Amino acid sequence: MSEVVGDYSAVGRRFAFVVARFNSLVTEPLLRGAQDCLVRHGAALDDLKTVWVPGALEIPLACKLLAQAGGLDGILALGAVIRGETAHFDVVVGQSAAGIARVSYDFSLPVINAVLTTEDTDQAFARAGTKAGNKGFDAALALMEMAEVAAKLRA
């Protein structure tokens, strides 16, 4: 029986972060958590690229342009969409997630969606490094694992 399993090594891998500036009090700690995770697992700082975009809806295009440019083992999309009083939340969440997934499928590249979708700011802050850990760190683990799985499946 054959089995493909990824590991948590960033040694020799090149990754990019696409980070929304909107809700930066949340997205900056997510980015720091993700960077910390990859460096702890062997990534070289020169192999990490960060691209800032205005908000979650702009993340998919930046991911697509990075994927088109090539040379990456994966992309981590970081953002925070916090429910407000209008239906805008649902549009942003759905379209952002769909666009991120499409880039991953279209380019056969791990593109991990770490755009937080929370009911309020307390939930967002909790997931950006306080009560609920740092979801940026957690997403970086998934990024490494999927980069390894993808490499093994291509071999």
> Left (φ > 0), alpha (ψ -120 to 50) or beta: where does 22 sit?
beta
What pLDDT was estimated at residue 15?
98
The catalytic site residues sit at 88
What pLDDT was estimated at residue 37?
98
Q: What is the pTM of this model?
A: 0.96
What pLDDT was estimated at residue 23?
95
**Domains of the chain by residue range:** 15-148
User: Secondary structure of 1-68 in the HEC alphabet?
Assistant: CCCCCCCCCCCCCCEEEEEECCCHHHHHHHHHHHHHHHHHCCCCHHHEEEEEECCHHHHHHHHHHHHH
**Class of CATH domain 15-148:** alpha beta
Q: Comparing C-alpha atoms, which of 76, 63, 73 is closest to residue 33?
A: 76
What pLDDT was estimated at residue 1?
87
Task: Please report, in tens digits, the pLDDT of each residue of the chain (155 residues total).
Answer: 899 999 999 999 999 999 999 999 999 999 999 999 999 999 999 999 999 999 999 999 999 999 999 999 999 999 999 998 778 888 999 999 999 999 999 999 999 999 999 999 999 999 998 776 899 999 999 999 999 999 999 99
What pLDDT was estimated at residue 89?
87
**CA gap 79, 54 in Å, rounded:** 10
For residue 98, the Cα-to-chain-centroid distance in whole angstroms is 14
- Which residues on adjacent β-strands are paired with residue 49? 16
